[in-house]
Amino acid sequence: QKAEWEQLKNEKSVTADGKEVILAANIGTPQDVEGANDNGAEAVGLFRSEFLYMDASELPSEDDQFEAYKEALEGMNGKQVVVRTMDIGGDKKLPYLPLPDEQNPFLGYRAIRLCLDQQEIFRTQLRALLRASKYGKLAIMFPMIATVQEFKDAKAIFEEEKAALVEKGVEVADDIQVGMMMEIPAAAMIADKLAKYADFFSIGTNDLIQYSMAADRGNERVSYLYQPTNPSILRLVKNIIDASHKEGKWTGMCGEMAGDQTAVPLLLGLGLDEYSMSATSILKTRSFIKKLSTEKMKELADKALDCETEAEVQALVKEYTK
């Protein structure tokens, strides 16, 4: 089995009936790029940039960030790297950045909310990204977008910083895709509206499930509600993918669900374009996908969307992937 996976390292990810998808890696630091390449990643689907902030004793400078993004882009040799702008707050605190004490940090001041409020932090990161963009194929996405207005505001700041750099004569790639994480149910429900503005979506199922089920993703006592393949979640995922495709955009997934062997057949059937997971799951997933037919998985997904329970969905997946 290991030998078979090894052979798949430099191959594309193609289903039994010839549909190509992208299998990408989630990374936290530029050094993780090596593992991504070693495991046959076709892209980086999620660079969790907040690790640059968490591994530091003060806010990382524009130059420090520039070096990190450049290293990741160069390391991927022209393959796409999706950098998520910092997702601090919630459970991720910074010792040097005082944040308000909150009763519900997961529902509080985090990610894009913090960035739109403390814009100097956000603008510094965007400048570093823009300057690094000429070293590879960069895409940027904003975490925790809930509304069209938030996306527009974040994108406008990006455009302002880009224009200012160009004005100064700094070389900036002009094909940077700017997309968003889909991890809040409200955003998933208006995916058709957001798809007009975002170049792509990346579904963050770790949070999307938590917020949909109103069940803390780290709380053992309510973990029975953490059901990636519950029809409710599948319907949200379908809404997101369909909305992006209607606008000629693409959808990836960078939550744990993307590498989950029960979910992958369903996601193929729903038309997901990119699957981003921990690097060590990529070859196994590529091997699995090779055996699946998209047409059959569409039939599976249709039936799953109409199920009542996750248990029913899981039984269907078993039947269809035997």
Contacting positions for Mg ion (CB under 5 A): 183, 204, 207
Cα separation, 178 vs 201, in Å, equals: 9
What does 48 interact with, of Mg ion, ligand PEP, none (CB < 5 to 8 A by kind)?
ligand PEP
Q: Is 307 a catalytic residue?
A: no
Contact 157, 117 (CB under 8 A): no
What does 80 interact with, of Mg ion, ligand PEP, none (CB < 5 to 8 A by kind)?
none
Pattern of binders to ligand PEP over 74-113, x per CB under 6 A?
Answer: -------------x--------------------------
Cα separation, 307 vs 311, in Å, equals: 9
Stretch that binds ligand PEP, among 7-15, 171-179, 201-209, 262-270 (CB under 6 A): 201-209
Size of the site for ligand PEP (CB under 6 A): 10
- Binding of ligand PEP by 204 (CB under 6 A): yes
Q: How far is the CB of 111 from ligand PEP (least distance, A)?
A: 8
CA-CA-CA-CA torsion sign (136, 241, 207, 180): positive
Contact 233, 182 (CB under 8 A): no
Specify burial of residue 176 (Cβ count, 10 A radius: 0-12, 13-18, 19+): middle
Q: How far is the CB of 35 from ligand PEP (least distance, A)?
A: 18
Identified catalytic residue from 22, 82, 86, 254: 254
Q: Which two tokens stand for residue 50?
A: 């907040």
Which of 297, 182, 295 shows the shortest CA–CA distance to 233?
182
Residue of 24, 25, 254, 313 interacting with ligand PEP (CB under 6 A): 254
Q: How far is the CB of 291 from ligand PEP (least distance, A)?
A: 26
- Binding of ligand PEP by 274 (CB under 6 A): no
Cα separation, 139 vs 82, in Å, equals: 5
Cα separation, 312 vs 322, in Å, equals: 16
Residues 162-191 that bind ligand PEP (CB under 6 A): 183
Q: Which two tokens stand for residue 234?
A: 């599948």
Cα separation, 313 vs 320, in Å, equals: 11
**Cβ closest to ligand PEP, residue 26 vs residue 293:** 26
Q: Which residues participate in catalysis according to the annotation?
A: 254
Binding site for ligand PEP (CB under 6 A): 46, 48, 87, 183, 204-207, 254-255
